[in-house]
């Protein structure tokens, strides 16, 4: 499981948690998140997320 | 002799994201960024979620100026106002220092509209428009409790939610009969207002603050309907005005912002603009999503591949966790019929044209999760 961070606003998508509010189940890999999913904090798309190291 | 630099004025989301996108395409042309502030990289949307997360200004910083300079292979001048532009000479002035540019990008942002309020306490009115403002307000409210918030627009509602969640006592004063007038339908406004009230926000919709005076260590606000409120600080969130003074003095064409075409080109050759300061093909949209679209298109243009910006559907996520809200306003001038489904706080409010095609929506509460599905049917904002 990896974490991805929005380079625009810093929001973190954690694959282990998914994003249940948008119907993305816990454990959903980043590659399987729908292409049109947008950052809930700042509204940018998947292309503006980058992988970050897990602490 | 080294080549002339690309110069970007402004190190907010527009300036830094353009620089980042452009550096992906051009790693060698010199890049100079000029900032009126300290050049730290942060995300402006975080300014209206910082109290609930109990974040100090320093904790919102994503990279300091040194790290940005290295990452972007750029020179970054901080606390440096640009005093003048000479478009014909492709030159700008920092006081007495002249800089020749290859291309110039204005990413200046917008200024908070300042209301002139009678009384002796104008210096206790805070607008929270950048990281330094945020730091100042946090320091001012430290150990205090009562905030009078002027404005019930999108940012006003976000601050009302955030400050209350952060433990402050908030009264909203705004001369309108619903929250976010002009942006959302009355039913959605009611749902948001109700949720904010349940959180503890007091609303005074209708009047304005007609006088603000010192009252011992506190402040006394007189409203135009006769109400008197005691508070410790005032936050003004009554709107932003694109920063156009520099462009105006250089003779550039203005609209509601620095007027640029779909290649982000102003009326002067080699001068471009994007972000909150720009009116792009007639649209001044002060949101992150259009800004990012512009940054990507302009990066290509500046790297030698002229590219027009286009905007797809761009719903706005309003950060009011008490009642989540996503808004996609129908295109200006479109004739649509609104319908309301669901029960507050979970509302699906849709705007459709005569043929039943979706033009826009307001989704609240649990219905916000439908936005992705609905986006597919929305018209593009700038096709």
Residue B1: the pLDDT is 47
Residue A55: the pLDDT is 41
Q: How many structural domains does chain B have?
A: 3
**Mean local confidence (pLDDT), A33-41:** 83
Shared domain check, B358 and B281: no
Shared domain check, B147 and B232: yes
DSSP-assigned letters across all residues of B131-174: HHHHHHHHHHHTT--EEEEE--SHHHHHHHHHHHHTT-EEEEEE
Yes or no, beta carbons of B289 and A44 under 8 Å apart: yes
Question: What's the gap in Å between the CA of B309 and the closest CA on chain A?
Answer: 15
Residue B354 CB coordination number (10 Å):
8
Residue B301: the pLDDT is 98
Residue A48: the pLDDT is 77
Shared domain check, B91 and B44: yes
Shared domain check, B205 and B122: yes
Q: Output the domain CATH number for residue B10.
A: 3.50.50.60
Residue B2: the pLDDT is 67
**Mean local confidence (pLDDT), A39-47:** 76
Residue B372: the pLDDT is 82
Peptide bond into B238 cis (omega under 30): no
Would B309 be classed as within a structural domain?
no
ipTM of the complex: 0.75
Would B318 be classed as within a structural domain?
no
Residue B257 CB coordination number (10 Å):
26
Shared domain check, B119 and B98: no
A17-23 contacts at long range (C-beta below 8 A, 24 or more positions apart): A21/B324, A21/B368, A21/B369, A22/B369, A22/B372, A23/B369, A23/B372
For residue B271, the cross-strand partners are B104
Task: Report the side by side order of strands in the sheet with B218-223.
Answer: B209-215, B218-223, B228-231
Centroid of chain to Cα B87: 28
Positive or negative CA dihedral for B368, B369, B370, B374? positive
Q: Which residue does chain A place closest to B316, by CA atoms?
A: A43
Shared domain check, B227 and B189: yes
For residue B163, which phi and psi values (nearest 5 degrees)? Answer: -65, -40
- Kindly state the tokens that stand for B77: 């001048």
Shared domain check, B107 and B118: no
Shared domain check, B104 and B21: yes
Domain's final residue, options B199, B217, B236: B236
CB B363 within 8 A of CB B323: no
Residue B29: the pLDDT is 97
pLDDT tens by residue, B252-285: 999 999 999 999 999 999 999 999 999 999 999 9
Could you tell me the pTM of the whole model?
0.93
Q: Output the domain CATH number for residue B338.
A: 3.30.390.120
CB B279 within 8 A of CB B255: yes
For residue B277, which phi and psi values (nearest 5 degrees)? Answer: -85, -10
Shared domain check, B210 and B269: no
Would B381 be classed as within a structural domain?
no
pLDDT tens by residue, B334-346: 889 999 999 999 9
Would B182 be classed as within a structural domain?
yes
List, as residue ranges, the binding site of A for Fe cation. Answer: 6, 9, 39, 42
C-alpha torsion B67→B73→B79→B83, nearest 10: -170
What is the per-residue burial (b if ≥16 Cβ within 10 Å, else e) of B33-64? Answer: bbbbbebbbbbbbbbbbbbbeebebeebbbbe
Q: Would the pLDDT of A1 be above 90?
A: no
Q: Which residue does chain A place closest to B319, by CA atoms?
A: A41
Yes or no, beta carbons of A22 and B13 under 8 Å apart: no
Positive or negative CA dihedral for B277, B282, B285, B289? negative
Q: Which residue does chain A place closest to B325, by CA atoms?
A: A40
Q: How far is CA B283 from CA B243, B258, B293, in A?
A: 15, 11, 13
* Selected residues 295-314 of chain B with any CB under 8 Å from a CB in chain A: 314
Question: What's the gap in Å between the CA of A5 and the closest CA on chain B?
Answer: 11
Most distant pair of Cα atoms in chain B: their distance: 69
Would B1 be classed as within a structural domain?
no
With an 8 Å Cβ cutoff, is B146 touching chain A?
Answer: no
Shared domain check, B298 and B218: no
Centroid of chain to Cα B272: 19
Residue B237: the pLDDT is 98
Residue A23: the pLDDT is 86
Q: Tell me which of 3.30.70.20, 3.40.190.80, 2.60.34.10, 2.20.28.10 is the CATH number of domain A3-52.
A: 2.20.28.10
Domain boundaries, chain A: 3-52
Shared domain check, B353 and B328: yes
DSSP-assigned letters across all residues of B27-85: SSS-EEEE-SS---EE-GGGGGSTTTTT--GGGGEEE-HHHHHHHHT-EEE-S----EE
Query: Which residue among A10, A34, A43 places its CB closest to the CB of B317?
Result: A43
Give the pLDDT band of residue A53 (cuts 50, 70, 90).
Answer: low
Per-run averaged pLDDT (10 residues), chain B, 383 residues? 89 96 96 97 92 94 94 98 98 98 98 96 96 97 97 98 98 98 97 98 98 97 98 97 98 98 98 98 93 95 98 90 95 91 97 96 93 89 90
Domain's final residue, options B248, B270, B302: B302
Shared domain check, B224 and B279: no
pLDDT tens by residue, B37-87: 999 999 898 899 999 999 999 999 989 999 999 999 999 999 999 999 999
Domain that holds residue B212: 114-236
With an 8 Å Cβ cutoff, is B99 touching chain A?
Answer: no
Would B63 be classed as within a structural domain?
yes
DSSP run (H or E) holding B22 = helix B13-23
């Amino acid at each position: 499981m990896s974490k991805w961070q929005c380079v625009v606003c810093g929001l973190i998508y954690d694959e282990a948690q998914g994003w249940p509010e948008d119907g993305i189940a816990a454990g959903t890999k980043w590659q399987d998140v729908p292409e049109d999913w947008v950052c809930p904090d700042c509204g940018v798309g998947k292309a503006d997320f980058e992988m970050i190291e897990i602490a | 002799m080294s080549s002339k630099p690309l110069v970007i004025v402004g190190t907010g989301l527009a300036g830094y994201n353009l620089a980042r996108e452009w550096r992906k395409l051009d790693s060698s042309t010199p890049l100079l960024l000029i900032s009126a502030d300290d050049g730290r990289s942060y995300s402006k949307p975080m300014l209206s979620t910082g109290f609930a997360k109990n974040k100090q200004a320093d904790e919102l910083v994503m990279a300091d100026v040194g790290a940005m300079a290295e990452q972007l292979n750029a020179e970054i001048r901080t606390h440096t106002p640009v005093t003048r532009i000479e478009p014909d000479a492709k030159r700008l002035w920092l006081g007495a220092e002249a800089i020749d540019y290859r291309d110039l990008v204005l990413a200046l942002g917008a200024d908070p509209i300042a209301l002139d309020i009678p009384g002796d306490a104008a210096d206790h009115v805070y607008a929270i428009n950048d990281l330094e403002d945020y730091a100042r307000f946090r320091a001012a409210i430290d150990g205090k409790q009562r905030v009078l918030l002027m404005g019930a627009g999108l940012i006003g509602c976000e601050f009302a939610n955030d400050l209350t969640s952060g433990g402050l006592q908030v009264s909203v004063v705004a001369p309108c009969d619903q929250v976010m007038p002009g942006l959302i339908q009355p039913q959605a406004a009611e749902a948001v207002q109700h949720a904010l009230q349940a959180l503890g926000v007091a609303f005074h919709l209708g009047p304005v603050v007609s006088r603000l005076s010192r009252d011992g260590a506190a402040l006394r606000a007189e409203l135009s309907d006769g109400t008197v409120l005691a508070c410790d600080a005032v936050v003004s969130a009554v709107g932003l005005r694109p920063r156009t003074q520099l462009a105006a003095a250089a003779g550039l064409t203005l609209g509601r912002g620095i007027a640029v075409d779909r290649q982000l080109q102003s009326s002067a050759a080699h001068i471009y603009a994007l972000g909150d300061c720009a009116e792009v093909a007639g649209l001044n949209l002060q949101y992150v999503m259009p800004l990012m679209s512009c940054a990507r298109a302009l990066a290509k243009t500046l790297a030698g591949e002229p590219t027009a910006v286009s905007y797809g559907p761009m719903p706005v996520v309003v950060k009011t966790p008490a009642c989540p809200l996503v808004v996609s306003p129908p295109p200006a001038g479109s004739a649509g019929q609104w319908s309301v489904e669901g029960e507050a706080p979970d509302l699906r409010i849709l705007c459709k044209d005569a043929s039943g095609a979706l033009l826009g929506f307001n989704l609240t509460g649990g219905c916000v999760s439908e936005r992705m599905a609905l986006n597919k049917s929305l018209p593009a904002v700038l096709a």
